[in-house]
Amino acid sequence: MWKSLRILLLLLVLAAVALDAWLDRIATQSWRETLWVGIFPLNGDASPQAQRYLAGLSAQDFAPIEDFLAREGHRYGLQLDLPVHIELYPQGGQLPPALAPGAGPLGVAWWSLKLRWFALHASQVPGRAPPRIRVFVLYHDPSVLAHAPDSHGLQKGLVAVVHAFADRTMNGSNDIVIAHELLHTVGASDKYDLSSGAPLFPIGFADPDRRPLYPQTEAEIMAGRLALSAQEWEMPRSLSRVVVGRQTALEIRWTH
């Protein structure tokens, strides 16, 4: 009797978790109303440079991401003027849990649970409605850190952690990273070689039919880089030279 009750309870919890993930998916992939995305800026390295940068940050700095998704959405026939609205929240004081390098599947699962728990609390800002998708952006002084740590976007939990540079001249590339992780949360997968960083052909190319194929002039957002040749690739300066490729559009249900 008690044993079956325990099993029933466990099944109910699992069903609730599955239902929750399914509802999140429907809400973020229907594209019938504007999706609210919250940016939660953080001082990633406790540096004065990042603090100065954060003081000058405004919602306008993220407008290119809204414009990019509106422009690309229209290209796929989306009947929505603004697919994504970005809302800037005040700077937070606590950093999200870090994923240990080389963490196994169990370590990743545990980290993602901790991250969701963190996001639940960190996105409660008095007087502000919580957004559907939470993006925590950790700004670093570029003179201290040459390469930003890996950023992550999770579809389960609708939360992303982005490492960005506290330098206004790098706003364009920061926006590319934020848009990339944001699209992970709505179901897009990576389209670059995880070991070399090379865009995958054809799905990671903005124009896979181009003749000659190289150099590509634009990047696919989930590849993040445009191929200059078979051996060279670079990140564009801004989202004006980035597109949402057909495979990504399929994954996020912009097209069928």
Which residues contribute to the site for Zn ion (CB under 5 A)? 190
Minimum Å distance from CB 200 to Zn ion? 12
Nearer to Zn ion, 190 or 207 (CB): 190
Report yes or no: 123 and 96 within 8 Å, Cβ to Cβ: no
223: left (phi over 0), alpha (psi -120 to 50) or beta: alpha
Residue nearest to Zn ion (CB): 190
Q: What number of other Cβ atoms are within 10 A of residue 241's Cβ?
A: 16
Minimum Å distance from CB 11 to Zn ion? 34
Distances (CA, A) of 242 to 25, 117, 134, 179: 25, 33, 23, 10
**Which residues pair with residue 219 across a beta bridge?**
205, 242
Task: Return the closest-CA partner of residue 88 out of 116, 128, 52, 117.
Answer: 128
Nearer to Zn ion, 39 or 160 (CB): 160
247 token code pair:
């495979």
Minimum Å distance from CB 225 to Zn ion? 12
Minimum Å distance from CB 108 to Zn ion? 14
125 token code pair:
């800002």
Nearer to Zn ion, 45 or 190 (CB): 190
Nearer to Zn ion, 106 or 194 (CB): 194
Nearer to Zn ion, 50 or 188 (CB): 188
Nearer to Zn ion, 57 or 206 (CB): 206
**How many whole angstroms separate alpha carbon 118 and alpha carbon 96?**
6
Ranges of beta strands (E only) in 141-254 are: 152-154, 159-165, 219-220, 226-227, 233-234, 242-243
Minimum Å distance from CB 163 to Zn ion? 12
Task: Return the closest-CA partner of residue 128 out of 59, 32, 51, 178.
Answer: 59
Minimum Å distance from CB 100 to Zn ion? 18
